[in-house]
Structure 1
Amino acid sequence: MKTQSKKKHLIVAGIAALLMASSLGLNINTIGVFLQPMASSLNVSMGAMSTHSMLISIGLACGAFIVPPALNYFNIRWLVLVSALGLAATTVGMSFSTQVWMFNVLGFIRGVAASLSAIVPLQLLINNWFIAKHGLATSFVFSFSGVAGALFSPILASIVENQGWRMALVIKAGILVNYGYSHLKNQDRKTNNPYTYYLGKYFGKFMQWYTPFFAFLINIVMISGAGATMNQYFGLDSRVGTVLMTIFVTATALLGLSKLIDIISLLGPLTVVFSLLIAILTLVQNPGNFLQAEQAIQATENVPFGAGNNMAFWLLGGILFVAYNIVAGVPFITNLRLEAQNKKQPWISGIMGGVGLMSGALLLNVAMLGHVDTLVNVEVPVLYLAQQISPVLGLIFAFILLEEIFSTSAPMLWTVVDSVTKQDTKKSVKQGILIAVSLLSLIGAQLPFGTLVGIVYPFTGYFGIVMLVLFIGREVWENRKQRAVEEGD
């Protein structure tokens, strides 16, 4: 019994130490790596950027007063969840920030988010578990703040030097959310888990934690896209558009109007049809100048490229497009197989969906290449092409885009909530988490839509490439194993 008790105490101390490492060590003690490159990028002084660090500390202090009353209503696991999502969202938000005030606002929010899984909750956890060796446990846990800072600072500095500070922040956000999910979802997984089955124990678990975070990022992109669409066609302030879509999506989810989402989703094929129509009409009426496309792409500035900014990267760009769809589609593909009436249905659905999606994407990319010099300055290029063909076609396509954004955003929102809750979780708790995720998505959606698309999807696509290789490898290995068994019989 004493051995089991010691083991439990060691596990608690280890989890607390890792939480300290992520919430304070990685989150705050590595910020010095970014200050100089951020200041240079924004053409401001180091003094102006140092305010960001000060506001993180103020947010950390203010958030400490929230923790004790919050623990009266929520388990510490939920505070860790909110903290992980908050830290990840604000860190990603920083990677897209272009003004000092944006960094300062996000810095304060980061401090508040960090407080939910840092000093106060961890000290309470230590007080509850350790009495005789209270001082030793406290010293051990809090030392990981410095250890994580010392460990991750040179790693992040190397990423900043080679990939830039914006990409380094995105990677840092991925590490932070991985920490949060690993502490929250520490129960045993089912053996039929598709992630661990195909991807292995460690990478599979990482992708199982990353996929809900990617769903969260997709929700941010969708909300931002709604604002960009309303601004581009209707002239409405993009911030107003993001607020309207957030309210609509959140209200639908809270009211449980899943049937409405299902009905609107049936209009999905219209998107493929209209995309093909827009691409074909553009190529027929005004194909543009393909010969100058590469020069126009290389001449663009302040546009993120996940694969590179010349045509030599065309193959990698195409693979990334397929790969990021795989990451987002795994949960839905699994459900499709479970709900299928026979083995042919998933195959037919996959082939039809893939051919339809890729046909539209291929023709649209060809159509856009002839107008690259104009489209790089437009948030929603396909809508612009539709407007050039006909105002009526533009109006119809604008509504189709908003419908698609809604029918994508709502399921992604529930994917995030379902991934961090159990079936028997109280409805009020789920609704609270849903509202929190919606608000974080709204904050992230204030970043430019084009920038979000240019970073979120290609970055995730690299994970998707690894997944594709492992998926194919697993299927080949299983088929060979089955043949060997059949030949042996």
Structure 2
Amino acid sequence: MGDSSDNAGDASRALIFALVALACGHMLSTLLRTIPAVSLDLMAADFRIEPQALASLTSVYHFAFAASQIPVGAAMDRFGVRPVSLGLLAGTVFGAVASGFATGPASFAVGQFMLGVATSGMLMCPMTLAAKQLSAARFGLWSGAILSIGNIGMLLSSSPLAFVIDNFGWRAGFWISALGGILVALAVFVLVPSQPAEHKDDSSPLSQMIEVVRLGLSRPLRGVIALALVSLASTLVLRGLWGGPWLMEIKGLTRSRPATSSVRSRWR
């Protein structure tokens, strides 16, 4: 009796560590998508293009992110959470390095595309593992915890990221993210168990993706899908692209230092 309860406790702790490791990938995703918004002026000057033109290139990330959702989900059902998450984290590291080495609009767009594809499943991975391993009640608790851990990336992409950019340049944000991707990948490799995919079948990946699209277009889910198409997009545009440049260029705020009294008067 005692041994079984000890084993259950060990398994529960192992699952918690695995979920936290995967959730750190989502945290990295929320950090990476905001780097251009915080450093757009410096990046545009380095690339010798208008900030508006550079801002339009960041849409490559979001289109790649959205287009990869269904293929990544199909791969997760086919191969399991651990190998897919490790592949995505490897892609994130390469995308961050490519973005850090970008010398112009074309190379920046390539880096954004790589990051969009690689980070598309960072939330899906811990959610899928939690859904497979936890009861409905515990899944509700852990889905909130996963989102909370992931949103730490938004905090890191505010003043801490601004400090890094002001003192070490915008490329340092991508270097640090690449290092973070390596650390998260090591944590996933060590902590996330290797489990067979429970939903693997003989159908082709294309037929699986078509079935997901058909399910998303079904009557019970149409409203949820329509809401999802605008809710996340609004957040990404406001915080991940438009908010930072607007505050700096229109309201005169600096990247990381508090506003002076003359700037504060503009808000009154």
Q: TM-score range by the shorter chain?
A: 0.5 to 0.7
Please give the alpha-carbon distance, in whole angstroms, between the structure 2 residues aligned to 1:44 and 1:82: 33
1:18 paired residue number: 24
| Secondary structure in 1 matching 2:68 | helix
CA drift of 1:84 comes to 1.7
Structure 1 runs (4+) deviating above 3 angstroms are 2-6
> Which residue of 150, 157, 173 corresponds with 1:168?
173
Write the deviation string for residues 364-402 of structure 1: whole angstroms up to 9, x where unpaired. xxxxxxxxxxxxxxxxxxxxxxxxxxxxxxxxxxxxxxx
Q: Could you list the per-position Cα deviations for residues 54-98 of structure 1 after superposition, in whole angstroms to 9, with x for gaps in the alignment? A: 221211111111123323443322222221221111211122222
| Residue aligning to 1:120 | 124
Q: Which runs of 5+ in 1 are unaligned?
A: 188-489
- In the other structure, the counterpart of 1:102 is 107
1:144-185 per-position Cα deviation (integer Å, ceiling 9, x unaligned) = 232122124433322222222223322321122221222113
Shift in CA distance, 9/88, structure 1 to aligned 2, threshold 3 Å: closer
Question: Which of 27, 34, 38 does residue 39 from structure 2 map onto?
Answer: 34
In structure 2, do the counterparts of structure 1 residues 90 and 127 end up closer, same or farther at CA, with 3 Å as the change threshold?
Answer: same
Listed one character per residue, the Cα deviations across residues 398-457 of structure 1 (whole Å, up to 9, x for unaligned) are xxxxxxxxxxxxxxxxxxxxxxxxxxxxxxxxxxxxxxxxxxxxxxxxxxxxxxxxxxxx
Q: Secondary structure at the match of 1:176?
A: helix
Aligned residue number for residue 86 of structure 2: 81
Instruction: Give identity over the alignment, percent.
Output: 21
Q: Secondary structure at the match of 1:133?
A: helix
Residues 57 and 111 in structure 1, CA contact (< 8 A), matched pair in contact too: yes
Q: In 2, distance between residues paired with 1:158 and 1:103?
A: 22
- Residues 179 and 15 of structure 1: CA distance in aligned 2, closer, same or farther (over 3 Å): closer
Which residue identity does 2:147 align to in structure 1?
A: F
Whether the aligned pair in 2 keeps the contact of 1:51 and 1:104 (CA below 8 Å) is no
Q: Quote the offset at 1:9 in angstroms.
A: 4.2
Contact 2:68 2:120 in 1 (8 A): yes
Q: 1:137 aligns with which of 142, 151, 174?
A: 142
Secondary structure of the corresponding residue to residue 97 of structure 1: coil
Q: Whole-Å Cα distance in 2 between the matches of residues 98 and 151 of structure 1? A: 25
Q: Which residue of structure 1 lines up, in the alignment, with residue 154 of structure 2? A: 149
Report the 3-state secondary structure (helix = DSSP H, G, I; strand = E; otherwise coil) of the residue aligned with 2:58.
Answer: helix
For 1:169 and 1:133, the matched residues in 2 are separated by: 35
Query: What code does the residue aligned with 2:125 have?
Result: P
| Residue identity in the other structure for 1:10 | I
Q: What root-mean-square deviation, in Å, do the aligned CA atoms of Structure 1 and Structure 2 show?
A: 2.5
How does 1:404-419 map onto structure 2 within 5 Å? none
> Any conservation in 2 of the 1:84–1:181 contact (CA below 8 Å)?
no
- Contact 2:44/2:54 (<8 A) preserved: yes
Q: Residue 141 of structure 1: CA displacement?
A: 0.5
Partner of 2:186: 181
Which has the higher relative contact order, 1 or 2, with Cα contacts under 8 A spaced 6 or more apart?
A: 2
Deviation at 1:5, TM superposition (A): 5.0
Find the partner of 1:66 among 56, 68, 71: 71
Letter in 1 for 2:91: G
Larger Rg: 1
Counterpart check, 1:49 vs 2:58: no
Q: Retained in 2: the 8 A contact 1:42–1:98?
A: yes
Aligned amino acid, residue 20 of structure 1: H
Note if contact 1:19-1:179 (Cα within 8 Å) is conserved in structure 2: yes
Contact 1:29-1:145 at 8 Å conserved across structures: no
Residue 27 of structure 1 deviates from its aligned partner by 2.2
- Structure 2 runs not aligned, ≥5 long: 193-268
Name the CA distance, whole Å, in 1 between partners of 2:130 and 2:102.
Answer: 37
Which amino acid is the alignment partner of residue 11 of structure 1?
A: F
Say if 2:81 and 2:129, in contact at 8 Å, map to a contact too: no
Contact 1:87 / 1:173 at 8 angstroms: preserved in 2?
A: yes
Q: Please give the alpha-carbon distance, in whole angstroms, between the structure 1 residues aligned to 2:130 and 2:60.
A: 27
Does the C-alpha gap of structure 1 residues 6 and 74 become closer, same or farther in structure 2, counting only changes over 3 Å? closer
Are the counterparts in 2 of residues 84 and 176 from structure 1 also a CA contact under 8 Å? Answer: yes
Return the TM-score normalized by structure 2: 0.61
Per-residue CA deviations over 1:14-45 (Å, capped at 9, x if unaligned) read 223222212x2222244422322101222322
